[in-house]
Amino acid sequence: MTPPLLRMTGVSKRFGGAKALDDVHLDLRAGEVHALMGENGAGKSTLMKILSGVYTPDAGTIEINGQVTTIQNPRDALAQGIAIIHQELNTVPEMTIAENLSLGHEPTRHGVLDRKEMRRSAREKLDRIGVDISVDVPLGRLSVGMQQLVEIARAVAENAKILVLDEPTASLSQNEAERLFTLVDEMRARGMALAYISHRMEEVWRLSDRITVLRDGKWVSTTAREDVTPAQVVNHMVGRDVNNLYVHENRSAGEVVLAVSELGNGRDVGPMNLEVRAGEVVSLVGLVGAGRTELARMIFGADRAKSGQVSIDGTPISVRSPRDAIRHRIGLLPESRKEQALFLDMSIRDNTVMSSMDNYGTGGILNLRAIRDAVEREVAALRVRSTSISQNVSGLSGGNQQKVVLSRWILVQPKVLILDEPTRGVDIGAKQEIYRIINDLTLQGMAILMISSDLPEALGISDRVLVVRNGLIAKEISRAEATEQNVMMYATGVAADEHRIKEERTETPIAGEKKR
């Protein structure tokens, strides 16, 4: 029997006192897609960084085609035919595609940069993976998905035999993801071995041949996909049963708290109408780029609205800045917590109290004792795992960071809390805790407007969903009627609005009749 293309055995790695990897093994066969799953911190990325030479292992061996080999640095990895597409892309956004693709080995003629050759070889590389964009476009102008394809083109051109994809669809739209999946299938057919890290069960099921699960830095299982169920894989990941992942309990909707009418930015988003009642969760679902985040940011005053009106408790309000919104007790948990919410060099205490400092002290002088009590209470209630509230948030896991941002808003005591992708990049245990927190907030009478690209999640915890398409609300669907199928029908425009006529209350313009 031929040895696998790659075999890693007994791999261990320590960082300081903590074991990031402990006796892990993994093998990749030619022509397979091997999914690597586990909660955040389980060791997937560390293992892949060892494979690609970013880290060197403390123990363990790596064999390629049965030959023991050492990988000391990324250059070694490339020489062995191993390429990795990172979550953060290693490209220069200001340079064109052609320039990026020849970075480090630019073609020259008589010592002068040969632009013609550079463009020709770039064209060839893109053609090999069937991407038909101009090579003269600066990379930064492309969507993240396109940039990723360019990275893959580079890897394929370098004759990579082993390709690692680290959460490749994390920021892709549906269309871009589809394109990526096709490409993955092609690369598999070509005999490459692909290691595929993802949190999304759906795509793992669609793509993978085998699944390896890691937990707490240890190998848990490797199975052929057809021998397991998604529920079993999740059980392996968390080490316990996660039935009833989504929490939707004891809800009862009250009065309308947030009313948005004809809100739009005058360009590609809106005008949109919606209402959220006290004690209910309403989700905006739809494709990435449909205008959901833009709508949320306009309600919160982060971006200016060109038209429309926001009302709280029936009273029209004017929101020109996030500060105005907070004064009217509207909160927004933004989609990207590191870029838009967290102060990574500051403590849990400061991050938590940042929006409600005025309530703790007089004349700007802080009452540290009151702050400590309040923050410790919230941190305990939300079960943020930390050593103390003076710990920096940079050392927390994604889920705990997200809980810190949530606790910031809870201290503001908003009437309306907008949650933009509240569980993105959060492991499954923390996800469930966040659903629990959201449910508790509704029981306190908060009105929750959520944006989620995780459809099962949106359907699982919402009372209603609003399907957004091309900057307009295409359809409102109640919890009882919402299924992934009918939501996607409206989100993609397969179904138009023959039902809309029945909804006499919402004067939603027809999807596709977008104004420019």
Partner 1 sequence: MTLTEKTDLKPLRSPKRESGVDVASLWDRYGILAVLLLLVALMSVIAPNFLSVNNGLNVARAVSINAILAAGMTLVILTGGIDLSVGSVVALTGVSSVLLWTAGAPAIVAVVGGMLVGAITGLINGTLVAYLGLPSFIITLGALTYIRGFSYSLTDAQPLIASDLGYRGLGNGAVAGIPTPVVIMLLVYVILWFVLERTSFGRHIYAIGGNREAARLAGIKVKWTLVRVYLIMGVCAGLAGVIFSARVESGQPKAGEGYELDAIAAVVLGGTALAGGRGRIYGTLVGALIIGVLSNGLVLMNVPFFYQLIVKGAVIVLAVGIDGLKNLKRT
Residues contributing to the site for partner 1 (CB under 8 A): 15-20, 39, 41, 215-216, 218-221, 223, 227-228, 232, 236, 238-240, 300, 302, 321-323, 325-326, 332, 334, 339-346, 350, 354-355, 357-358, 361, 364-366, 368, 385, 387, 391, 395-397, 399-400, 408, 427, 429-430
Residue among 196 and 219 whose Cβ is closer to partner 1? 219
The pairing of strands 33-37 and 210-215 is parallel
Contacts with 403 (C-beta within 8 Å, 6 or more apart), sequence order: 382, 383, 384, 430, 433, 434, 437
Hunting for tokens 């699982």 — which residue is that? 460
Angle, helix 230-238 to helix 428-443, in steps of 10 degrees: 90
Residue among 52 and 121 whose Cβ is closer to partner 1? 52
Residue among 235 and 452 whose Cβ is closer to partner 1? 235
Nearest distance from C-beta of residue 247 to partner 1, angstroms: 20
Helix intervals (H) in 70-173: 74-79, 97-101, 115-128, 144-157
Nearest distance from C-beta of residue 422 to partner 1, angstroms: 15
Distance CA 452, CA 293 (A): 10
Residue among 256 and 346 whose Cβ is closer to partner 1? 346
For 101, 248, 257, 356, 446, the CA distances from 410, given in Å and listed in that order, are 47, 19, 17, 10, 10
Residue-wise DSSP of 228-261: --HHHHHHHHHSS---S-S---S----SEEEEEE
Nearest distance from C-beta of residue 345 to partner 1, angstroms: 4
From the list 104, 51, 102, 45, the residue with the least C-alpha distance to 76 is 51
In the chain, what's the furthest Cα-to-Cα distance? 77
∠ CA 171-173-179 to the nearest 5 degrees? 105
Nearest distance from C-beta of residue 373 to partner 1, angstroms: 16
Residue among 4 and 399 whose Cβ is closer to partner 1? 399
Residue among 316 and 395 whose Cβ is closer to partner 1? 395
Residue among 206 and 323 whose Cβ is closer to partner 1? 323
Nearest distance from C-beta of residue 334 to partner 1, angstroms: 6
Nearest distance from C-beta of residue 231 to partner 1, angstroms: 13
Nearest distance from C-beta of residue 242 to partner 1, angstroms: 12
Residue among 361 and 456 whose Cβ is closer to partner 1? 361
Nearest distance from C-beta of residue 1 to partner 1, angstroms: 21
User: Token digits for 423?
Assistant: 């569980």
Hunting for tokens 């940011």 — which residue is that? 297
